[in-house]
Structure formats: C-alpha cells, structure tokens
Amino acid sequence: MVATKPPVRVRADESGIAAAAEVIARGGTVAVPTETVYGLAARADSADAVAGIYRAKGRPDFNPLIVHVPDVAAAEQLATFDARARLLAEAFWPGALTMVLPRRGDAVLAAAVSAGLPTVALRCPAHGAMQALLRVTGLALAAPSANRSGGVSPTTADHVAASLGGRVDLIIDGGATEQGLESTIVGLRDDGTWAVLRPGPITADAIARVLGDAVEAMTSDARGIEAPGQLASHYAPGKPVRLGAQVAEPGEFHIGFGAVAGDISLSTSGDLAEAAARLYACLHAAADAEDARIAVAPIPEQGIGIAINDRLRRAAA
Ligand code: TXA
Ligand code: MG
C-alpha cells in the first residue's frame, strides 16, 4: 500500500526535530536536509524501518544505504577504523565524505542496510538538522537521497514532496541545501588500497593529500559490486539530456554555465561550487519546462566539476 496523502512538513527547529525523532523511534521515515542533499532517514538498527526506505524509494534491494552517525565514536561502534579512516575523519568529518569500511561483527545494523556486503558506508554529516536528529534519537540513521529511485536528487523540501509525496512520513524543511551534490564515497580496502567510488564535494586529490604516502595506493577502478549504486542511468530527469552544448537546438531547454547563458544558468560567473549547489535545482526546472529535451553547457573537468560531470553523464545515460 502506498500512501497518497501529502506528507507532514515541519521546520528544522526544536519542536520539528522532536516530532521527527518520534517518527524515527517508531520506525517511520523522515526526509531531512543535510549539507549535500535531502536524505530519507530511518533507524538503521531496524529491518522494518530500513524496508520502509526501500519501499518509499522504490529502490532495488541490492543497493546498500549510507549510515549517518553523529561522531567518530558512534562510527567506531559500527565499523573497523584503521589509521587511514581516522585521518580522513579528522580532516573531513563532519562533512561530505562517506567511508566504506569493514562492518563490525557486533554492529547493531539491519542486514538490509549494507545489502549483504561485509562493509558499511558511514558518514558524519555537518548539517544542524541532521546532527540534531541523530543526537535526539541517539540512533544511527540510514539515509539515501530522498527521491524515487533513479530520479534527480532533492535539494529542497519541495523536491522531496514532488518526488516522494505521501510515501514519506514527515519532511523537515530546512531550506535549500548548501553543497547540492551527494557526498564523496571513498572505499578503504583491507589490502591498503583505496578508491573514490563516487566523486563528490571532496576531491580525490584532497583525499590523497590527507593520506600522504598512501597516494600510490589509490586505484581508479571500483571493483565490481563495490559501488552497486553507481548505475549508469541515475539522476534521470525523465527527458533526453545532451551534454557539452554551447548552443541549444530547437526544443531544448538549455542549462548554461559561465559565458554560455542558457535558459537558466548553473553559475553565470562560472563558479563550480555554485554550479554544484544549483545542479539538481536546474535539472528539476528543466524537467518541469515545456521543452522535450535538455541541453547542458560544458563544465570544466576540475575540482568539484568532476563530480558535476559524473552526475550529468548519468543523467544523460
Ligand atoms: O550526500 C549523501 O551521501 C546523501 C545524503 C543524504 O547523506 N546520501 C546518499 O545516499 O547519496 P544514497 O543512498 O543515495 O547513495 C548511497 C551510495 C550508493 O551509490 C551505494 O551503492 C553506496 O553509497 N554504498 C552504500 N553502501 C556501500 C557499501 N557498503 N559499499 C559500497 N558502496 C556502498
Ligand atoms: Mg541517490
């Protein structure tokens, strides 16, 4: 049964967080802003609650979820931290870095969270609302992006409501998210190698700098099942998408960048951080436009532009 009534919305204040914590405690789902995108949160220790996430998203159940924790101490209850994980946590937590680590045997996590993998993806988010929800509930929270599976990730509460409607029990409205692109996922392997499994706001170069002499241990390949969520077709706005477009063709809604004006611009000044923050809002706007197709201006393949182009390629696939 899928609910059709509009979801309840609350503000990201004390009473809103308290209401959300109650929903979480009884195994419900809450859409909550993070510094990257809105997440669809449920308690990670309950198989029923986690099933609620998969149901609301319509997500294939081989795709594991990111588990959010308030701090490193909570993360260490769930996964084995080696020296590299400690360095990365010190450098980037709280923030937009997710680490895939060996799951502890005694971790109190529903099996479905990591979809049968021996690892778990952990993130300590920086956003006040998500931090408050983690602390008030005292629980680790599984939270994928709060959109129907395969769709464009939400950066506002309106995006969540449009995508999930009554499938989510409660939405915490904290305004537009700051960074706008999902966290970087780094896999730290037992053999000492590591790989960026999903590019994001924290670049591979920044990670390599922190890991120092482990730079040569970086491998560009994600090995098979390592990043099962990285399907080619993802972030799909529901229309054909053409990339690298300096000029739009008839029937195309043009997303510009820098000198390429377009119908709407990711950043008129050519600022990549602004472009990242606006990417999904622009894709949502393009999806809602009357034009049958979408064209996107070229984006430089540097810094967070790498993550922007990764998402655009998937949107175009
Ligand atoms: O910024 C973000 O990371 C947002 C916010 C809400 O925190 N969350 C997010 O979650 O993007 P989601 O579920 O949409 O993306 C999870 C990704 C998927 O690509 C999945 O394959 C990967 O993380 N993942 C999760 N657990 C994994 C594991 N044990 N090994 C490898 N990849 C894993
Ligand atoms: Mg997602």
Question: pLDDT tens per residue, the chain (317 residues)?
Answer: 454 567 899 999 999 999 999 999 999 999 999 999 999 999 999 999 999 999 999 877 668 899 999 999 999 999 999 999 999 999 999 999 999 999 999 999 998 898 888 999 999 999 999 999 999 999 999 999 999 988 899 999 999 999 999 999 999 999 999 999 999 999 998 888 899 999 999 999 999 999 985 544 555 444 444 554 555 567 788 899 999 999 999 999 999 999 999 999 999 999 999 999 999 999 999 999 999 999 999 999 999 999 999 999 989 98
Which tokens in the block code for residue 286? 């393009």
Expressed in angstroms and rounded, the spacing between residue 120 Cα and the centre of ligand 1 is 10
| Domain end point (choices 138, 165, 180) | 180
**Do 299 and 162 belong to one domain?**
no
- Whether residue 224 is contained in a domain is answered as no
**Do 267 and 150 belong to one domain?**
no
Q: Classify 238 as helix, strand or coil.
A: coil
Expressed in angstroms and rounded, the spacing between residue 259 Cα and the centre of ligand 2 is 30
| Nearest protein Cα to ligand 1, atom 12 | 144
Which residue range forms the structural domain that includes residue 176? 8-180
- 285-288: long-range contacts, CB 8 A cutoff, minimum separation 24: 286/237, 286/239, 286/253, 286/255, 287/152, 287/237, 287/238, 287/239
Output b/e per residue, 8-18; b: 16+ Cβ within 10 A.
eebebeeebbe
Dihedral through CA 245, CA 303, CA 159, CA 226, nearest 10?
110
**Do 13 and 91 belong to one domain?**
yes
- Indicate the number of domains in the chain: 2
Burial class (CB in 10 A: 0-12, 13-18, 19+), 210: middle
Burial class (CB in 10 A: 0-12, 13-18, 19+), 174: buried
Cα–Cα distance for residue pair 235/223, rounded to 1 Å: 22
Q: Which atom of ligand 1 is nearest to the CA of 38?
A: 6
Answer yes or no: pTM beyond 0.85. yes
How many of the other CB atoms lie within 10 Å of CB of 233? Answer: 10
Dihedral through CA 144, CA 146, CA 149, CA 155, nearest 10?
-110
Mutate to test the pocket of ligand 1, among 35, 38, 65, 66 (most ligand atoms within 8 A of CB): 66
- Whether residue 157 is contained in a domain is answered as yes
| CATH number of the domain enclosing 85 | 3.90.870.10
Name residues whose C-beta falls within 8 Å of residue 69's C-beta, 6 or more positions apart in sequence: 75, 78, 122, 123, 124, 134, 140
- Whether residue 65 is contained in a domain is answered as yes
Q: Which amino acid type is present at position 59?
A: R
Expressed in angstroms and rounded, the spacing between residue 181 Cα and the centre of ligand 2 is 10
| Domain end point (choices 138, 160, 180) | 180
**Do 174 and 246 belong to one domain?**
no
Residues 272-306 have pLDDT tens digits of 999 999 999 999 999 999 999 999 999 999 999 99
Q: Which amino acid type is present at position 62?
A: F
**183 belongs to an annotated ligand binding site:** yes
Residues having CB within 6 Å of any atom of ligand 1: 34, 36-37, 39, 63-66, 98, 100, 114, 117, 119-121, 123, 125, 143-145, 182-183, 185, 197-198, 226-230
**46 belongs to an annotated ligand binding site:** no
Quick check: 182 and 153 in contact, CB under 8 A?
A: yes
| Domain end point (choices 180, 204, 221) | 180
- Whether residue 221 is contained in a domain is answered as no
**59 belongs to an annotated ligand binding site:** yes
Q: Which amino acid type is present at position 76?
A: E
Mutate to test the pocket of ligand 1, among 98, 114, 134, 311 (most ligand atoms within 8 A of CB): 98
Q: Which atom of ligand 1 is nearest to the CA of 125?
A: 7
Of 120, 124, 101, nearest in space to 111 by CA? 120
User: What is the DSSP code (8-state) at residue 190?
Assistant: T
| Nearest protein Cα to ligand 1, atom 32 | 227
Expressed in angstroms and rounded, the spacing between residue 9 Cα and the centre of ligand 1 is 25
**209 belongs to an annotated ligand binding site:** no
Q: Which helix (H) or strand (E) holds 67?
A: strand 66-68
